[in-house]
Structure 1
Amino acid sequence: MKQTILICVKEFDKAAGLAKKELTQWAKTQNISILDVTSAIEIISEKKQKEILLGVAIGGDGTFLTLVRKLARKDAFPLMGVNLGSLGFITEVNRDEMIKVITQALKGKLTEEKRPLLDVEVFRKNKIVASGCVFNDAAITKSRNTTMLRFDVSVA
């Protein structure tokens, strides 16, 4: 069975492109394939999911959240984020340590931290008008016709 690393790279970012190139070259030396889900939501079969060792977001917190959204409810493999900026709350791995940390992760030498996903539904007149699975937070913005909001929050 071919081992695979799934990646999501910050689009149109030169530094992210260079990091992707480095990771791809390293993966070839390790006989690991790369599955890039940067520009499109891939349909990942159950069989393919079993081949994926790790999901890596290269960019920052926004790129990591994009990857989480694309993979919502597919918790068959761990995810990690590589931060190319100066501050990352979710993406803790710096660019310089990317290969080292990925190597440690693949060898099982890191501690996996489980994070919950939130199911969000927006109702209007008792009908769902939007729904989704989110990581970290959900935001509500006002529209031109602002009215009083009522929240029902449940944790199960």
Structure 2
Amino acid sequence: MRNPYAAAYVAGAVGTGALGALVAVRNASLGRPPPYSARNIARHVLSRLFGRKLSRREAADWAFALRAGYGPLLGMGWGLVRRRTSKWSLPHSGVLLGLGVLAFERMAFPLFKATASESSWTREEHAWLFAQTALFGVVTEATMRWLTK
């Protein structure tokens, strides 16, 4: 792909798509969606914004919309800064992106009151958040490399 910004957008979308498979495994492993699931975040944040509690269906629809925008935008942001890491190995560069996303989300969740306090999360929930951001990072970086060869 000639346009690096289009490649970054697509890479972020592919990274987000990869999370779809992991989410089913994560939820089955935990026995429920974690506090940082897109549906729970949509329900918390948008219920306050709209001044009414969202239904499960509305929260699911908004969660899809949030993921559809968030992942590609993260990919584009990564496209702007990845020049320095593009020569690193795929796991190193991808996990760095994942750690950046993890740090951003750990800062944003309390700022936007999007989730319950992280101190109330289980160890497994913390581990799954790391796993999903690392997966997003590696898949996004792998797609960037493939698209920009």
**Class of the TM-score when normalised by the shorter of the 2 chains:** under 0.3
Indicate the structure with greater helix content: 2
Query: Higher relative contact order by CA 8 Å / sep ≥ 6: 1 or 2?
Result: 2
* TM-score, scaled to structure 2: 0.26
* TM-score, scaled to structure 1: 0.25
Indicate the structure with greater strand content: 1
Structure possessing the higher radius of gyration over alpha carbons: 1
